[in-house]
Structure 1
Amino acid sequence: MKRSSGVLLHFTSLPSRFGIGDLGPAAYDFADFLAEAGQRFWQVLPITPTSPELCNSPYSGFSAYAANPILISPELMVEYGLLEYEEILECTLPDSEHADFKSALHIKKTLLRKAFSRNANTILDNPSFNQFIWDNMHWINDFALFTAVKKHFANESWTKWPEDIRDRTEEGLHHWGEKLYREILFVKFCQWIFFRQWGQLKDHLDEIGVELIGDVPIYVTHDSSDVWANRRIFKLDEHGNSYCVAGVPPDYFSKTGQLWGNPVYNWDVLKEENFGWWLSRMRHNLGLYHWVRLDHFRGFSAYWEVPADAKTAIEGYWVPAPGHDFFEKLSCNEGCLHIIAEDLGHITPDVTYLKDRFHLPGMNLLQFSFGDDIGYCGDALHNHRRNSVVYTGTHDNNTNRGWYNDDADEISRRHLLAYLGLNWIDESTISWKLIRLLMSSVGCLCIIQAQDLLNLDSKARMNIPGEADGNWGWKLLPGQLTPLIRERLGEMTELFGRTSKID
C-alpha cells in the first residue's frame, strides 16, 4: 500500500433530502472532495440491511451479502427512468444534522414499491436483471425468501416461523416460495437497483483515483438469512437457538466486557467444508470494495465465547479458531489480500503472528496512546509500524474534540501537550492538531473521521459501544466541507507525502 490517507464517512452521514445519506449526488460530491484534497481512500461502515428493531446498527444486518435498500438514491432512480422527478420532490425533507431513519425507510419503501409496480410484469424479461440474479445466485434466493417470509410474519424471528419454513423442508421452501412470489421478486428488484447504483459510483471512484475501504463484521446477526440458511456452520441447538454467543472480555469500552449476542461459528464444520461460506463472503466483499477492514480480526485466532444464558461477557472463555488454515485458503484463491486487520483490544502474540504471516496491515489509534504507558504503547506515534493503518479514532470512538473535552484524563492531556510541545491548547484547534500528528505517522495509511475535519464535539460521535440507542445518526449538512477545509487537508496531505497524485 502506497503512503496515503483518506476519510471515514458512512453513506448514511452524507447530506440528503430524504432523511439519510445514500448513493446519490452527495456521494459523488464527497468523492470529488476527497480527490481534490489529495485523498486516496474513502472508508465506510457495513452496507448490509438494517432495522429499527436493531437500532439501525450497520453491524446488525440481516445478511452478510445483501445491501440496504435505504441507501438507494431516488435521484438516480429518476435518471434510470424508474420514477418521475415530481414524485421524489413530494418526498423531500428539510436538512438535518441527525439522520431520520424512520422517515427515510418510509420514503424509500414507498418510492421503490412505486417503481416496482411499474416494472413487475416485465422485469423477468430484462437481461440486466436476469444476469444480476444469475451472478448472485449463491445468496440472493435465500435472502429474498427470508425477507419475504419475515415480512409475512410481522418481522418475527425465523426460529418462531412454522416448522416447514423454519427448518427449510423441500415442501416448505416450495410452498412459501410460491405463496410470496411477488414479494420475493420485489426484494430482488431492490437489490438489483442498489448494486446498479453501487457499480456506477464505483466506476466514478475509479475514474478519479479514490478507493473504497469496506467493513466486514466477523459475526452475523442470529436473525439473518445467513444463519437461517446455514445452520450447520453455527453453534445452534435443534430449534435453531444459540447455546453460546459472541462477545469480548472487559476492555477499554466496558468493565464487564461486551455481550454482543451473535451466534458463534462452528469452525470444525467450516474447516470440513474447506471454509466455503467464508471464502464466498470474502470474495463478495473484495469484489465490492478495493480494500476490506476485517472487524474483530483477533476472532480468527481465538474468540470469546459466552454461554447464551450469561448475564455479562465476564462469564466467557477463549476458544481457538483455525485462522491460519482459513487465510491460507483465502490467499490461494484470491492472491494478494487487500485486507486491513482490526487488531484493537486484547491482542496476544498469536494474533500478531497470524496478521504478520499474511502481511496484513493492522490498526493504531492515537486516542489510545497518551496514557501512563505512552513510552512503549503500540498506539503511540513513535511506535507505529509502516504496515499499519492509523486513526485518531474510529466510529466507536469519540470525536477528537469530544475525546479531549470528555474522555481524556489529566495524564492523557498532559502527555498530548508534551507531544505537541505546548503548554496550553485551545479546543477549537485540538482536532487538527491530532490530525497533523496522525499525518506524520510512519504508518502507510492514515484515516480521518469526517467529523474531525470539522472539529465537532461529542454530539457528532457515531457510536458508543455498549449503548443500544442513539447511535449511527450523525449527518453532514450541505456545504459543511468547505473549500477552505479541502485546501487545508490537501496541503497537509502533500506535506507529509500522502498525496494520491500519480508519480
Structure 2
Amino acid sequence: MTNLVRFKVNYYTRLGQEVYISGTGEALGNWEEANSKKLHYCDNGDWETLVEFKGDEKEKNIEYKYFIMDTNGEKIWESGPNRSLNLNDLNSNYIHEFRDTYQSPTSAENTYLDSSFFREVLFSRENKQAYSLVKNTSSDKVIIHFQVKSTYVPPTHSIYIVGSNSALGNWRTDRAVKLSDEFYPVWKVDLEFSKEQLPFSYKYIIADKTKSYVHWEHGSDRWFTASTVHATEYSNTTNEDRDFFFNDGEFKDSQLLRTAGVAVPVFSLRSKKGLGIGEFNDINALVDWSHQTGLHMIQILPINDTTVYYTWRDSYPYSSVSVYALHPIYIHIDSLTKDPKILATVAQHREKLNSLPALDYEAVMNIKTTLLKEIYAQEKKSLGQNKEFTDFVKENSDWIKAYALYSVLRDTHKSGDFTTWPVYSTITQEDIEKETSPSSKYYDSVCYYYFVQFHLHLQLLAASKYAVSKRIGLKGDLPIGVNRVSVDAWVNPHLFRMNMSTGAPPDAFADDGQNWGFPTYNWEVMKKDDYAWWRSRLGQMSKYFHAFRIDHILGFFRIWEIPANCVTGLLGKFNPSLPLWRSELANNGVWDLDRLTQPYIRYHTLREHFGEYADYTASKFLNEYSSNVYQLKPEFSTEKLIEQNLTADDAMYKPGLFKLVQNVSLCADSEDENRFYPRIEITKTSNFNELSDDMKSTLHRLYISYFFERQEELWAQVALQRLPLIKKCTSMLVCGEDLGMVPKCVEPVLHDLGILGLRIQRMPSDSNKDFYHPNEYSYLTVNTTSSHDMSTLRGWWEEDRARAQVFYNRILGMFGDAPYFCEPYVSEAVIAQHLHSSSMISIFPLQDWFGLSTEYGKRDPKEEKINEPSNPMHYWRYRVHVNLEDLIEDTDFSKNIQRLLLSSNRNLD
C-alpha cells in the first residue's frame, strides 16, 4: 500500500540557499545527494514537499535528515541524530504530515542530546513511562503525535503539554497532559482531537508529580492549524491530513546548564592504598570528593601505554604506543590477588614509594611488572575457563593481538623501536595471527598482555560506572599524535606520513616552537575507509569516558608539519596550506631562492652567535666557500645531524649551530620543488634582515598573507570534513583545546559544530589583549585557570609580578599593590569570576582549587607544574601532596567549594 507523507520544516535561508531532504529508501534517494528531494518554499520560513512511499518499499524504518544547499554547492547538514519514521505506523488512508524543527548545531539542547555526559550521567532516568502509538481510525478525528526534546529535566520531574482546548486542559496546569520519557531526552505523547477543538495553541511545561512546581517554556505560544495543501490527485487517500507528527524541536528555555569540575592526571593522585602513583581505583576516592563538593566532571590526561624505553622517558602520557591499550602502571595490584607473599611485597614498597614527594616512574613500573608476572603465572591455567576474559579478548581482537605481539617483541629486543628489530620490523595481519596463535612460541607472553589489559579494563570501567552513580562524568584526553614507533604506526604505516613530525609554531609555551616527534596523519588515505581508525579509536574511549578533550584541535584544521631531520619546530609549515609558488615569487621579484632557502652564514653571523669561539666554530663545523661566506658541513647540516654528531665536549655549540640551520627566510617543500613556505618569525633572522628594504617589504607582505590571510577558507573547509566525523561517531561530549596560533576560522567552525572551545584567561587568542575577562566567554566553552602545560595560578602570580599587578587592578578590579603571593582571597576571586561566566563548564586543576586553602596552598608552586612544553625530555612525575582520604575528611574545604558553586548557580544537586 502507498503512504503519502508531507515533510515540512521551518528554516530561514539566505538568498540562493535551498532546503533538501535525504534519507533511506528509494523515495528519499538512499542518502545520495543527486537523488535527494528538494523542498519548496511556502511562507514564514516554512519549506515542504510531499513524498510517496510505495507499497513495495523494502525499508519500513525510514531515517532522514534535512540539509541546506549553499550557494557555493556545499551541503550543510542539520545537527543531531537521524530523524526516523516507521511506515508500519502510518495509515494509508490519510496523508501524514511531519512538521519538523530544524536541528541547529549551535543550540544548547542539541549539544546535550548528542552527549552521554548529559543523557546518561547528569540526568539519567529510571522507571521510564512507556510510549504507546495511537493510530487514527476515525474520519472525524485528528491525531497529533507530539514530540519535544529536553535533556535538562531533573529525574523527579517530567514534561507536560497544556493548551487552549479541553484535551489540553484549557491552560490549567493541573490538567496538563504528561509526555512519555521512554525515549528520553525525547518526550512523546499522542492525542486525539475533534474538529471542533481545532485550531489551538499550546505550550510545554516542566513540572513535578504534584504539579506544585511548574516551569513554563519561554517565548510565544505554539500553534496548530491544519494544512491547506491537499493531495487530491492521489485517489486512494482522502483530501485531508489526518495524522500529524509534530517534531517540536527543543523545550524553549533560557535556562542553560552550567557545571564545574576538577582536572588532575591519574598518575598524580595520592592515596594510602596506592603504590607510589595514582591508580584507576583511586578515581573512586576522587569521585567521592567531587561528589562531596558538588563537582560533576573529572578531567584526566591520556592513560594509554607509553612503554618504549623502559625508563622515565616513558612517563610522557601524550606519546602512546597504542591508542587502545591502557598503561599497566595504573593497575591496582591488591585487587588481583590474595597471595599473602605478593601482598606483603606490595606493603613493603608502598610505604617507601608513597612517602616520595614525586613519582619514581621506573621504580613503580619495575615493581608492578614483577608482581603482575607473578600473578599471571598463578592465574594463567584458569584463564581459558574465564568467560569474561575470553569474551574480552575476542571483542578486542582487532587491536589487542597486535599490541600484545608488539609488547612481546619490544620486551625481547629491549626496545619499542620496531625499525631496529631483526624480525618483524614490518608486520602483516597474517603475521599477527600466526604469532598470537596457541602454536606460537610467543603465545604465553602474548596472553600475559591480554591478562594485564583485561584487569586494567575492569578497573577503569568500574571507576567509570562508580562516577556515573554519583552523577559525575569522566573526561578523557585524545592526543593529537601517536608515537613514531607505536603499534599503530607498525601495523598501519600507510595512515601516517612517517617522514614528517607533528608540532606547533612558537607560542607562549616555547620560543622555538614544539616538535612532538609524532608522524603526521595521511588524511587522504584515512578517508578511503571512512576514517575507520578514528571511529574505532573513539569507540574504545567511549567505553570509559563521557566527554573528551581533543588535544591541539587546530591539527584538525591544519597541522604544523616539521621535516623529520628537525629537532625544534621553527622550520615547519602548515599542512594543508596554500604555498608560495615559484611563479608567484618570481612575479613579486623574488628570484634568488638559494639565498633565501639556504642558511645565511657570514663571519659576523658567527661572531653574533659564538663570540670569541667564532673561529673555532668556522673550522670545526663549517666550510668557507667564499670570502667570509660559510655553509655547514654535511654532517652538521640539519638539527638532527647536529644532535647526533656533536660530541660531549662540543655540546655548548649546539644552540648556536641550531640558529645557523634556522637562519633562512623560506623553507623549500621536500615533495615539490615549486612550493615554498615563509619561515615562521622570519623577521628574527639575519637572512631576512640583511636583505634590501624592498625585498624585506615584499617578503613580509607574502609572510602576512601566508600565515594570516590566504588559508582561512581552506582550513575551515578541511575542518568541516574532519570534525563532523568526530561528532558523528561518538556520544561523548566533544571539547577542543584551541590554544596557540589560532586561525580566525576556528571559533566559528567549532561553534557551528557544537564543539566546546577552551578559554584560559592568561592566553587570549586576540594578541591585542593581555587577558580574557570571563564575562566575555560564550556558552559553548570550557574555561579554566591553568592547563597542565602552564604554571598553576599561584605559580604564575609569583613568576610574573608585573602582569600579576595589571591583572590584580584591571581584571579583578582591586586597588593598590597586588600581594606578593597569590593569597586565598585572590584565588577565590579568580575562580569566582570563571564560575559566574556563561561557559558551560568551568574546570580547574586540583592545584588551583587548593589555592583556596591556606593549608593546601603552602606547597612551593614550582613543584606543582605538571609539564614543561619547551622540554621534550621532561619527566612527568608531579604528585598531589594531600592524600585523597584526608581530602575527603576535610569537610570545611569541600563546603567552601560548595559555596562558590551554589552562588554561581553551578551546583546541580
TM normalised by structure 1 equals 0.91
Matches within 5 A, 1:18-167: 18-24=275-281, 26-51=282-307, 52=311, 54-78=313-337, 85-94=343-352, 95-167=355-427
Deviation at 1:405, TM superposition (A): 0.4
Q: Please say if residues 773 and 811 of structure 2, whose CA atoms lie closer than 8 Å, have aligned partners that are also in contact.
A: no
Letter in 2 for 1:22: E
Q: Which amino acid aligns with 1:328?
A: P
Residue matched to 1:476: 881
Instruction: Give the distance between the partners of 1:171 and 1:123, measured in 2 at CA.
Output: 24
2:798 is matched with which residue?
A: 405
* Contact map agreement 2:760 2:783 (CA 8 A) in 1: yes
- Trace 1:361-400 onto structure 2 (pairs within 5 A): 361-369=756-764, 373-374=768-769, 379-400=772-793
Q: Determine the structure 1 residue equivalent to 2:734.
A: 339
Secondary structure of the residue aligned to 2:570 is helix
- Give 1:476's aligned amino acid: H
Shift of the 281–213 alpha-carbon distance from structure 1 to 2, 3 Å rule, reads same
Mark the CA change 1:7 to 1:387 in structure 2 (over 3 Å): closer, same or farther: same
Tell me if 1:188 matches 2:466. no
Give the greater-gyration-radius structure (CA).
2
- Who is 1:454 aligned against? 850
Larger mean Cα displacement after TM superposition, 6-15 or 366-375: 366-375
2:827 maps to which of 431, 436, 461: 431
Identity between Structure 1 and Structure 2 (%): 24
- Tell me: CA distance 1:266–1:125, structure 2 relative to 1, closer, same or farther (3 Å): same
- Taking the aligned partners of 2:567 and 2:359, their CA distance within structure 1 comes to 32
Deviations 1:363-417 (A, max 9, x none): 0002225998448x6x3323211110000011111111101101x3514432333
Find the counterpart in structure 2 of residue 222 from structure 1. 484
- For 2:561 and 2:397, locate their aligned partners in 1 and report how far apart those are by CA, in whole Å: 32
Work out the CA distance in 1 between the residues paired with 2:429 and 2:387: 31
1:201 aligns to what? 463
Give the drift of 1:77: 2.3
Alignment partner of 2:746 out of 351, 373, 377: 351
How far 1:252 moved relative to its partner? 1.0
Rate the CA distance shift 1:281–1:104 in 2: closer, same or farther, 3 A. Answer: same
Q: Is the 8 A contact 1:3 1:498 kept in 2?
A: yes
- Structure 1 range deviating more: 95-104 or 110-119: 95-104
SS for the counterpart of 1:15 is coil
Distance 1:383 1:49, change over 3 A: same
User: CA deviation digits over 1:254-273, x for unaligned, max 9?
Assistant: 12110111000111101112
Contact 1:343/1:363, CA 8 A, preserved across alignment = yes
Q: Give the partner amino acid of 1:499.
A: N
Q: Quick check: which one's helix share is greater?
A: 1
Whether the 8 Å contact between 1:164 and 1:172 is mirrored in structure 2 is no
Tell me how far apart the structure 2 counterparts of residues 230 and 370 of structure 1 sit (CA, whole Å). Answer: 36
1:246–1:259: 8 Å Cα contact kept in structure 2?
yes
Matching residue within 480, 490, 495 for 1:233: 495
Q: CA deviation at 1:303?
A: 0.8
Aligned-partner Cα distance in 2 for 1:324–1:499? 35
Deviations 1:39-71 (A, max 9, x none): 000000001013435340111121111101110
Flag structure 2 segments of 5+ consecutive residues without an equivalent.
1-111, 113-256, 577-714, 852-856
Q: Deviations over 1:66-106 (max 9, x none)?
A: 10111011232247x89864453233233333112122112
CA offsets, 1:7-56, max 9 Å, x none? 001111111441111123x4322211100100000000001013435340
What secondary structure does 2:543 align onto?
Answer: helix
Which residue does the alignment assign to 1:13? 268
Q: Distance in 2 between matches of 1:209 and 1:82?
A: 37
Tell me the distance in 2 between the aligned counterparts of 1:290 and 1:372. 34
Distance 1:41 1:471 in 2: 23
Gaps of 5+ in 1: 236-241
Give 1:268's aligned amino acid.
E
Q: CA deviation at 1:173?
A: 6.1
CA distance 1:82–1:57, change in 2 (3 Å): farther
Task: Check whether the contact 1:370–1:416 (CA below 8 A) recurs between aligned residues.
Answer: no
Once the two structures are overlaid, the 10-residue window that deviates more, 348-357 or 193-202, is 348-357
Change in 2 beyond 3 A, CA 1:410/1:372: farther
Residues 371, 411 of structure 1: 8 Å contact kept: no
Q: Conserved in 1, the CA contact under 8 Å of 2:376 and 2:451?
A: yes
Match for residue 548 of structure 2? 292
Query: 1:435-446 alignment to 2 at 5 Å?
Result: 435-446=831-842
| 1:231-283 per-position Cα deviation (integer Å, ceiling 9, x unaligned) | 11011xxxxxx311111111111121101110001111011121110111112
d(CA) in 1 for partners of 2:765 and 2:447? 54
Partner of 1:239 in structure 2? Answer: none
CA contact (8 A) 2:270 2:879 kept: no
Question: Could you say which residue in structure 2 is the equivalent of 1:313?
Answer: 569
Name the structure 2 match of 1:418: 810
Q: CA deviation at 1:339?
A: 0.7
Q: Single out whichever of 90-99 and 172-181 deviates more from structure 2.
A: 172-181
SS of alignment partner, residue 397 of structure 1: coil
Question: C-alpha separation between the residues in 2 aligned to 1:372 and 1:132?
Answer: 50
For 2:376, the aligned partner's letter is F
SS at match of 1:363: strand
CA distance in 2, matches of 1:286, 1:156: 27
Moved more, 210-219 or 418-427: 418-427
How far 1:188 sits from its partner (Å)? 0.8
Of structures 1 and 2, the one scoring higher in RCO (CA 8 A, sep 6+) is: 1
Q: Encode CA deviations 1:280-326: one digit per residue, 9 max, x unaligned.
A: 11121123201010111011111111111124211111113743223
The structure with more strand, counted as a fraction of residues: 2
* Aligned-CA RMSD value: 2.4
Q: 1:437: Cα distance to partner?
A: 2.0
How much has 1:138 moved relative to structure 2? 1.8
CA contact (8 A) 1:34 1:40 kept: yes
Report if the CA contact (8 A) 1:432-1:452 is conserved.
no
AA of the residue aligned to 1:386: Y
